[in-house]
Structure 1
Amino acid sequence: MTEEPHLLTEVRDSILIVSLNRPEKLNALSGETMQLFDEALLRFRDDPGLRVMLVRANGRFFSAGADMKGGSGRKRPETATEIRENHRIGLHGMHRIYDEMEHIEKPIVCAVHATCVGGGLELALSCDFRLAAKAAKFSFPEGLFGVLPASNGVSRLTRICGSHWARWLIMGNQKVDADRALIMGLVHDVLPDQDFDAAALEFCHHLTKSDPEQMGAAKIAIELAADLGRDQGRQVERMANSALMLNPAYRQRIDDYIKKIGSEGK
């Protein structure tokens, strides 16, 4: 019997829906999964008709992390240098793919409906928005083996949630449910399990209404502001708006808004 593709794609309006599709393997991230994900990501990046990317999964797990049995097609690293290089260019390209997700000037939404651990959580951390169903759970099990998350687990988790919660997940090796993840800032919202997919898609439709130029500029400005001081962050705001406010669409919207206010005040 032919195995189904490890990843499925579908376009609804201007939303590219990408679904992890190895339910019998708890959506472990195989080489095929990451290759297909990479192709979908580049399609999303390069197609101006695609406005939002939604990452979801089929089955009772969102993802159990990297496929530990599938192999990476590379010989096992034997030195510290080889291990570092494997993290950078191996692991089915995870490091490069997750970085590209962060750099693309379009919003990527992750809808986590169930358990999400290890490399699956690193995938989620690389998205712009994370929505969790009430049943979702999150953890980094790497500590059980005496190592750290291999590709952005430490860096992006600390950037998003702060060192306080990074210690809880990585050093404390704790599992967190959806409500705790919301408190941590790990997810943006917790939604009911029932109709979770529909609610996540509705949020994506909401994002498609935003101006794509504003969305791209905001994504860059927010990332820069996280690393810059207050004054430099304000300079980024000024630089971004100097281009956005020359957009004819902005001028039309602001004129329409002023007219609306004027008519309501009469």
Structure 2
Amino acid sequence: MSEPLLLVSESDSILELVFNRASKLNAINGEMYDALIAQTERFATEPSLRVMLIRARGKYFSAGVDLNSELGPDPQLASPAAFRQWYREGRGSLHPLLDRFEVIEKPIVVAHHGPCLGGALEMSLSCDFRLAAHSARYGLPETAFGNIPGSGGTSRMARLVGPQWARWFIMANLQMDAAKAERIGLIHDVYPDDEFEARVRDFCLNLAKQPAEAIGAAKLAIELCADLDRAQARNVERIVASGLFFGDEFRSLFAALREKLGKRSPA
């Protein structure tokens, strides 16, 4: 019996999803897409799971969406409006999945080795943390096919690294190695290939130990503040921090800290 194309395991509160289609450069097909959606929902609703890690087997992280699979828009779509509606909610569209990544109040980590292209990079842009091996390489080739990266590759890339580097990937259709991707802020950290899996694991273990409510609230607050002016962003901070202050998690952790310091906990 053949292995599934998305390997799933969990340990130490980490849900690990591994692309397992190396013979097809880990291009995402219908089976992988459906499994990603199912596991993402399980991650969102299972309290024991604190971190989701996405990585891959083989020489590629992923070549993107498999254009020969059943994914993608129905060729019978009759208008731009119908296409946009498919984008929002149709099966095979990355939009619902990637939008879901951004609102789950838990951290999602993606770990790249080898090329990460097209839809796979668009998926990665919606994750909270992007880690890379030195062998990682990034590209958005959609303009070579006469379109733009329409599943967040344009909007999220411009927001994350600025219009200047979005032009590099999208208009010039150029790729970038891991070292440069770290310098421009596309990824958070780069590790030697022979240390990659262990370093990624250590990062996820540390993340899983952080207070769950505070981490979830921080994720949403950061996302909101990034698009607000200073005054609005400060109000978001105040609302989120005050809500956490009266929660059981903060009270318990802060009481323990004050006891350690020999002081009274807040009333």
- If the length of structure 2 is used for normalisation, what is the TM-score? 0.93
Q: Paired residue for 2:225?
A: 225
Q: Paired residue for 2:207?
A: 207
Paired amino acid for 1:170: I
Q: Paired residue for 2:85?
A: 85
Distance 1:170 1:214, change over 3 A: same
Moved more, 195-204 or 248-257: 248-257
Pairwise CA distance, 1:261: 4.4
Moved more, 71-80 or 39-48: 71-80
Distance 1:237 1:56, change over 3 A: same
Pairwise CA distance, 1:78: 4.4
Structure 2 distance, partners of 1:184, 1:3, is 40
Is the CA contact 1:16–1:50 (under 8 Å) kept in the aligned structure 2?
yes
Residue by residue over 1:153-208, the C-alpha shift from the partner in whole angstroms, topping out at 9 and shown as x without a partner, is: 11111111111111111111110000111111110111111121111111010011
Structure 2 distance, partners of 1:257, 1:73, is 52
Q: Paired residue for 1:132?
A: 132
Q: Paired residue for 1:105?
A: 105
Gaps of 5+ in 1: none
Residue by residue over 1:50-83, the C-alpha shift from the partner in whole angstroms, topping out at 9 and shown as x without a partner, is: 0000000111100000111113386313432333
Question: Which aligned pairs between 1:93-242 and structure 2 lie closer than 5 A?
Answer: 93-242=93-242
Structure 1 distance, partners of 2:94, 2:106, is 19
Residue by residue over 1:107-157, the C-alpha shift from the partner in whole angstroms, topping out at 9 and shown as x without a partner, is: 000001111000000111111000011000000011111210121111111
Q: How many residues align?
A: 262
Partner-residue secondary structure (3-state), 1:147? coil
Pairwise CA distance, 1:89: 2.9
Gaps of 5+ in 2: none
Structure 2 distance, partners of 1:222, 1:90, is 29
Pairwise CA distance, 1:217: 0.6
Q: Paired residue for 1:33?
A: 32
Distance 1:135 1:91, change over 3 A: farther
Paired amino acid for 1:186: L
Structure 1 distance, partners of 2:72, 2:146, is 24
Paired amino acid for 1:209: K
Distance 1:252 1:85, change over 3 A: closer
Is the CA contact 2:71–2:93 (under 8 Å) kept in the aligned structure 1?
no
Q: Paired residue for 2:43?
A: 44
Pairwise CA distance, 1:94: 1.2
Distance 1:174 1:91, change over 3 A: farther
Moved more, 204-213 or 83-92: 83-92
Is the CA contact 1:21–1:58 (under 8 Å) kept in the aligned structure 2?
yes
Structure 2 distance, partners of 1:258, 1:74, is 57
Is the CA contact 2:132–2:190 (under 8 Å) kept in the aligned structure 1?
yes
Q: Paired residue for 1:54?
A: 53
Structure 1 distance, partners of 2:224, 2:184, is 22
Structure 2 distance, partners of 1:10, 1:78, is 41
Paired amino acid for 1:17: E
Pairwise CA distance, 1:262: 5.5
Q: Paired residue for 2:62?
A: 63
Structure 1 distance, partners of 2:9, 2:37, is 15
Paired amino acid for 1:207: L
Q: Paired residue for 1:11?
A: 10
Paired amino acid for 1:64: A
Is the CA contact 2:117–2:138 (under 8 Å) kept in the aligned structure 1?
yes
